[in-house]
Structure 1
């Protein structure tokens, strides 16, 4: 049965946040920072703020897969925090630019396979 659009429960779908504070004093530290940031982008994360990235995951199982991948490639120094919240919780986030409120990022569109 082909589906034109997949639907996800707001309680099953997750957003995985990666928040980090990495040293960049030496050339090696800057290289480690760049590698980690590029890893996040390659894994489908989007930058929300400086050093705060998020990725939509259709299920908690997919979230765990990405957590494990990131854990294997953590930089040797600095601090990295991973936090998973439900899509419903993510949708309750309030975002402001200055004093003006803006919309929260939306889920990425899903690829439809025939």
Structure 2
């Protein structure tokens, strides 16, 4: 059994800025957001989504899937954080600090 280390477990964060000036562009942006939710990402902010991956290899596989589903226009960035780095993130709503979302309680295997 592989030891799961907080230094090997990875969080992926997708940041994007997609054009939404026309009805067709809004539809493509919505399709991409829906794809991310269906792929197990959680919305952090409207154009920022995050997902926990048990290993960097799983994150790389997920990246290849995202690359196949990229919209034709706009900018999409993918950031990677170890679980230990992600623990240090702080989230505020107004002036109130929100508890940091932890890794999923159950490990999902593909």
- Give CA-to-partner distance per residue, 1:26-82, whole Å, 9 cap, x none: 121111101100110011000011100000000000000010100111001111000
Q: Shift of the alpha carbon at 1:101?
A: 1.4
1:75 maps to 71
Structure 2 gap ranges (5+): none
1:99 maps to 95
What is the TM-score with the length of structure 1 in the denominator?
A: 0.88
Structure 1 gap ranges (5+): 1-5
Aligned length: 109
Structure-2 separation of matches of 1:74 and 1:66: 12
Structure-1 separation of matches of 2:39 and 2:83: 18
Correspondence list, 1:54-73, <5 A: 54-73=50-69
1:43 has 2:39 as partner = yes
RMSD: 2.0
What is the TM-score with the length of structure 2 in the denominator?
A: 0.91
> Residue 22 of structure 1 is aligned with which of 18, 24, 27?
18
8 Å CA contact 2:54, 2:107 repeated in 1: no
2:49 maps to 53
Of the two, which has the highest radius of gyration?
Answer: 1
